[in-house]
Structure 1
Amino acid sequence: MKNKNKIFYYVVTGLFSLLIMGGVANYIFQHEMVVGFFEAMGFPPNLIYYMATAKVLGVIGIWQTKSKVLREWAYAGFTFNLLLAVFAHLNVSDGEQWGAVIGLVLMSTSYFLVKKIEAEKA
């Protein structure tokens, strides 16, 4: 059972990481489009750079194994980011909240699996 949980954790966390890094790639390579989205939601465009940096650091924080506290903060940051993204998209009624909803499901699954794996080690 331990190996199944680890494999499922790596798959789910990998998919979550790809989703997040895909967003970061959009921030960089489709910057003007993202600026339009941010402005439509009432956010300042310079927030894009901070969000991209935070997301890259968050993915690193989730995958690193040295600090459980850092991992917890990374998951917490993604929770706030994704919840706020869902509500921001709902607020402007653009129908784009589903990426954030999928991200929340993947992130939550990853979080509970890592907790289960840590409990199995103890």
Structure 2
Amino acid sequence: MSEKTKKIAYWFFTLWLSLGMVSTAVVQLMKLPEEVEKINQLGYPTYFLTLLGVWKLLGVVAVLSPKFLLLKEWAYAGFFFAMSGAAFSHIVSRHPIGEIFPSLLLLALTVISWYLRPTNRRI
């Protein structure tokens, strides 16, 4: 893969990841009744929505920022833990694949974006 192709792929997956994280963060921060019901079904307290929403927004800022390389690594790690934890929670709760898939998609986007990041965005 050429450097130009790799850079285009990185930005494609990173922007898709960022859009997914921002959109889910906004929904979580709004505490829509469906989200409150889902988080409670998984056994987590409602205030966890605020925590996740704020972390996701801060993570997107870190991932898109051209500086703060160590913080960027932590943001990717946070996305990985949050999305793998969400997928696992849905699986253990025996939710249908339609409820598991968004977490798995964001998890895959996290890994792909992290893997494709340019050398100037690595430690």
The two structures have a TM-score, normalised by structure 2, of 0.89
Instruction: State the number of aligned residues.
Output: 118
SS of structure 2 residue aligned to 1:97: helix
Distance 1:64 1:105 in 2: 21
Cα shift readout 1:58-95 (whole Å, capped 9, x = no counterpart): 01111111111011000000111011001100111112
Equivalent residue, structure 2, for 1:26: 27
Q: How does 1:110-121 map to 2 (within 5 A)?
A: 110-114=113-117, 117-118=118-119
How many Å apart are 1:38 and its aligned residue?
A: 0.8
Equivalent residue, structure 2, for 1:58: 59
Q: How does 1:45-84 map to 2 (within 5 A)?
A: 45-84=46-85
Q: What amino acid is the match of 2:112?
A: T
SS of structure 2 residue aligned to 1:43: coil
**CA RMSD, aligned part only?**
1.6
Equivalent residue, structure 2, for 1:107: 110
Q: What amino acid is the match of 1:94?
A: H
Q: What amino acid is the match of 2:62?
A: G
Matched, 1:98 2:98: no
Distance 1:80 1:42 in 2: 17
The two structures have a TM-score, normalised by structure 1, of 0.90
Note if contact 2:31-2:49 (Cα within 8 Å) is conserved in structure 1.
Answer: no
Q: Give the 4+ runs in structure 1 shifted more than 3 A.
A: none
Q: What amino acid is the match of 1:78?
A: F
Equivalent residue, structure 1, for 2:90: 89
Question: Where do 5+ consecutive residues of structure 1 fail to align?
Answer: none
Distance 1:46 1:75 in 2: 23
